[in-house]
Amino acid sequence: MALRDAKLPIMRQIATVLFACLCLVPWCSSVARAQDGTGASVRVDPELIAELVFGVYCAEEPVRTEEAPETASGVINIVPDLPRIRFATTVVPAALDIGFGVLSRAPEGMVHDPVTVTVTHPPFPDSGIEVERWTTRLGWEEFSLTGFSFDVPGELVTGSWTFAAHAGERELFHVTFEVVPPDMAAPVLAECQMGFTS
């Protein structure tokens, strides 16, 4: 299954995020809204989320899986480390071993548990599935990854993909990605392919 979740101790998280391209959303209203260069939307509740990073990364092998019956495969993959966000963009090439998603952290002293994550996407050709959902925890001491990586050809559907997280009735964040044919995001694809062969 390509859905991803990961957590790391805070010092390791900080190093990872500083190495990445940070996209800290400005807190201008009760719900911060932003757009990247593609016009894709990002919504964040600044009372509930202290930091948010989104983008594309090179997928890695999971160390284990956890049951997630409302996903296409019935499990989510747990990866050992947070990924390095290679491109702070919402344009994602539809290619195997490409991952994309959101790193987020709650304000100091705050823990959201449980958090319901909902990923919507164009229908998978084999199953018609368009919505996948699982629960996780989001705290302040460490960043959490909410992501998806393309592991099998049947997942390579182009169009709008959304990642939304809710704690009860309150939306924590909502990020829209646009998955495009690989040649429309060639630099992203080349970066990951170079990493796999080096």
How many residues appear in the chain? 198
Please give the domain boundaries of the chain with CATH numbers for all domains: 3-197 (2.60.40.2390)
How much is the pLDDT for 35?
A: 53
- Reported as a pLDDT band with limits 50, 70 and 90, residue 29 is very low
How much is the pLDDT for 72?
A: 82
Residue 129 burial (CB < 10 Å; 0-12/13-18/19+)?
Answer: middle
Residue whose entry in the numeric block shows the structure tokens 């989320």: 49
Q: Report the alpha-carbon distance of residue 158 to residue 131 in Å, rounded.
A: 15
Q: Does residue 1 register a pLDDT over 50?
A: no
Mean pLDDT of the chain: 81
Residue-wise pLDDT tens digits, 50-101: 999 999 999 887 778 788 888 887 777 777 788 889 999 999 999 999 999 9
DSSP 9-30: -HHHHHHHHHHS---PPP--SS
Residue 35 burial (CB < 10 Å; 0-12/13-18/19+)?
Answer: exposed
Residue 182 burial (CB < 10 Å; 0-12/13-18/19+)?
Answer: middle
Beta-carbon neighbour count of residue 193 at 10 Å?
14
Residue whose entry in the numeric block shows the structure tokens 């629960």: 135
Q: Report the alpha-carbon distance of residue 83 to residue 75 in Å, rounded.
A: 20
| pTM score | 0.78
Q: Does residue 147 register a pLDDT over 70?
A: yes
